[in-house]
Structure 1
């Protein structure tokens, strides 16, 4: 179905090809998973199948890519639209209409399908992806995960023979991700659809793949084979595979079910060992917190030589960076939050979890002041965020949004970092050092829009961290990050927490929550339904438990690193 013949892609100004020597065939009716570290060319590989590379992205493509017999060099993306359906990393860039139902119908209308066929397929897709309740909603009002489901649905309705998906589950909650993957399985098995997807959250998808396509390094020739064989040599791998490699299982398990069957002996070895607690890294030096700016006297006060009157905002609460009491937020007819009460202490890391649309992003935007409360109160550093000028809030709270491009305005990475250093009053090079730590190898002169989604996220995070705000808010911080980049992120955030910074992150990444969070708060329909230590909350939840916990249940092991520490102690 898809044939690569000695394909290489080089972009203008790049020192080396992004892809080189790709020669392989993807058969019809298979689900092929492309894996590899961030920046190795997975998105370029996928774009070459849809014709976006090089017709839209530019660059020089040598060799030949054919899809269903059509040569992508001579067929532009619109001439492949009936054959190939594509969803990129950024759902917002995909949409052309305003409402969910119109977006699902648009692709079919462009292909000239009959109205009765369009209506039937829209209804089928609404049911398949759990979008029926959202059919009349404006896309602008949807959460990131809901938008991602709509984007996937819009390419399913024309019934393409090939689906190309870039990070299709990155913004989905665990249950929604399982639903989407079940739909893809049905398309592959029942309809013979060919699916080529790139995904960093391998714990979700690797067990469903017929073959895995590994891109080991930028410009290196890819390797394709059976999932277990490729995972044995891949530099990126899910926790269940990491656990299998740790204890020497052969063949390696790809799913929790396979691992549980193999883990009887391991559970017995660990029966008398208490899972170790997370510890702050030894090199975590305290980070000085910025002092709030002194209030300026009003005009009358300056004329009379008096000191400024006390601020009407409440004084900071001892031992608490932020406190939310009975918070309610309404967006038109939608009650996004109701009765939320939450406090976060210095040095504490809190993970907000819950299904798409539960109110996680709304809570973060309320804490940063961009969304005012409808009821209740919010205090950050003793100030009410929605009533405080942004220039005063930026020294108390920083937000990395789901769409990192919202923070990126300059033409180069170096210019973004220089502006961040200047805005934060930080020493020159502070932001650039953070970028290098989070994602090494990003050139100074590259334009932010030319970075991958994960690289843009790392840059946006570095911009916010440069100011060292006492409260750091992260909305889906691991979208587009491979396991190595995620480990570097965890290291940075742990050091910040050890230095007294409070961190609140909204995430669907259960492995990140298990590795990093002291506390997990689960939201459902805008309400807090669980709030407690990470072990207690995630282990008791089938949806939010990490893979290691599921394999070694009922004991409360959360990560492979905990198991490694325990086994080293028994040796």
Structure 2
């Protein structure tokens, strides 16, 4: 179905190809999982399948890519639309209508599908992806995860023979991700659709893959069966890391298989106390107190009388299904978002007694239209030192022509205050990004890394991160955890809104779970996430009832057992 023949891709201004001499065949009815480090070229590989590379992105493509017999060099994306459906990393970038139902129908309208068939497919897709209650909602009013489900649905309605998905579950809660992947798997098994899927949250998808394509980072590509590929792959989910640590053969790819192999390991670990998943210090008093916060969008109540204390030295994970109000709460805490009732107050030294962010001066979001910008210099300095927010769409904060200019501006805005070096932070998240590259030419993971570096440069007292692990590989997530640990150790409070349960298990002290605008759980990480089948990390599921959350804990326990002999 898809054939790469000695394919190389090189972009203008770069000194080495992103893809080099790629030979690859993807058969009909195969689910092909594309893996690799952030910036390794996964999105470029996917873009060659429907001709976006090089027809839209520019650059030079050498070799030949054919899809269902059509050469993508001779057929632009519009001439492949009946065969290839593509869902990119940024759902908003692909929307062309105003409401959910209209967006699901749009692609079929362009392909001249009869109205009665269109209606039937829209209804099927609404049910398949759990969107029936949102059918008349404006796309701009949806949460990031809801938008991602609509983007997937808008492609599925056209019934393409090839489906290309670039991080399709990155903004979905665990339950919604399982539903989407189950739907994709049914398309593969029942209808023979060929799926090429790139994903960083491999724990969600590895068990469904027929083949793994690994981008090594130097432009070369290897492919193998999943169990063979993950023995040496540079990225791997926790179930594979645990299998490598324990020496299991064959290497398990699902929790079910791992539990069967883990019986001897559980016996070795019984009776031994689990090392802490995160070596954080004791939290101090609250830096920020929210009381009775209410956020409404028309008749929809997004946040319902939420009260919350953010304590110094504590890392808090904000979890819940898509549309539960997590992002709305972060914006209300920050002060730049709407808040119809309640108070949000700084309580630490340096803030006026009783001062609320929204009533004083919201912490500025650099470059974001309609937000407080550099013209209000005194207020900007105060706000940026007090509270910082990285939104779900990091490109809102990027507006200069080069990466180097963005980093230099971040350093100037910090006014030399003790903080963090933006270039050093960026290299820790996503090494190797040149200063001269335009920010819009970066992958989504690289864009997020750049915005994280910019916002953390001034080291605010309270740091709010909305889905910060989207587009980040496992190594980059570990770097992010180390930086968050450093911020907490300095007495700052960090709040992370995320669906990434593995990241929460390794990096959070406390978990707050929201549902329909309410806080339904608030407590220590282990107590909250292990109690929920949806939020439990893979290691906890494999080793239950033992109290282990991460592979690192298991490695430490085994090392301690070995040294005690």
| Aligned match of 1:257 | 256
The 5 Å alignment of 1:425-444 reads 425-426=415-416, 430-444=421-435
CA distance in 1, matches of 2:98, 2:480: 35
CA distance in 2, matches of 1:339, 1:101: 32
**Structure 1: 5+ residue runs without aligned partners?**
285-317
| Aligned match of 1:393 | 383
Any conservation in 2 of the 1:280–1:498 contact (CA below 8 Å)? no
1:226 aligns with 2:225: yes
The match for 1:330 among 287, 296, 316 is 296
Bigger Rg, which one: 1
CA distance in 1, matches of 2:439, 2:384: 22
| Aligned match of 1:104 | 104
Residue 172 of structure 2 aligns to a residue in which SS?
coil
Any conservation in 2 of the 1:395–1:467 contact (CA below 8 Å)? yes
Residue 395 of structure 1 aligns to a residue in which SS?
helix
Any conservation in 1 of the 2:445–2:471 contact (CA below 8 Å)? yes
What TM-score comes out, normalization by structure 1 length? 0.92
Any conservation in 1 of the 2:420–2:457 contact (CA below 8 Å)? no
What TM-score comes out, normalization by structure 2 length? 0.93
Deviations 1:260-288 (A, max 9, x none): 0111111111111111124548xx9xxxx
Residue 35 of structure 1 aligns to a residue in which SS?
strand
| Aligned match of 2:151 | 151
CA distance in 1, matches of 2:99, 2:108: 15
CA distance in 2, matches of 1:438, 1:26: 32
Residue 272 of structure 1 aligns to a residue in which SS?
coil
The 5 Å alignment of 1:144-543 reads 144-220=144-220, 222-278=221-277, 280=279, 319-381=285-347, 382-390=354-362, 391=380, 392-426=382-416, 430-543=421-534
CA distance in 1, matches of 2:173, 2:360: 33
| Aligned match of 2:370 | none
Structure 1 residue 373, shift from structure 2 partner: 2.0
Deviations 1:184-235 (A, max 9, x none): 0100000000000100000000000011111111312x11111000000101
CA distance in 2, matches of 1:76, 1:409: 30
Structure 1 residue 394, shift from structure 2 partner: 2.1
| Aligned match of 2:376 | none
**Structure 2: 5+ residue runs without aligned partners?**
348-353, 363-379
Any conservation in 2 of the 1:275–1:566 contact (CA below 8 Å)? yes
Any conservation in 1 of the 2:277–2:550 contact (CA below 8 Å)? no
Any conservation in 2 of the 1:322–1:378 contact (CA below 8 Å)? yes
Any conservation in 2 of the 1:514–1:558 contact (CA below 8 Å)? yes
Any conservation in 1 of the 2:277–2:549 contact (CA below 8 Å)? no
Total equivalences in the alignment: 535
CA distance in 2, matches of 1:373, 1:155: 35
| Aligned match of 2:368 | none
Structure 1 residue 386, shift from structure 2 partner: 1.8
Structure 1 residue 323, shift from structure 2 partner: 1.1
CA distance in 1, matches of 2:355, 2:463: 16
Any conservation in 1 of the 2:428–2:476 contact (CA below 8 Å)? no
Q: Which stretch has the larger CA shift, 363-372 or 239-248?
A: 363-372
Structure 1 residue 380, shift from structure 2 partner: 3.2
1:9 aligns with 2:48: no
1:563 aligns with 2:563: no
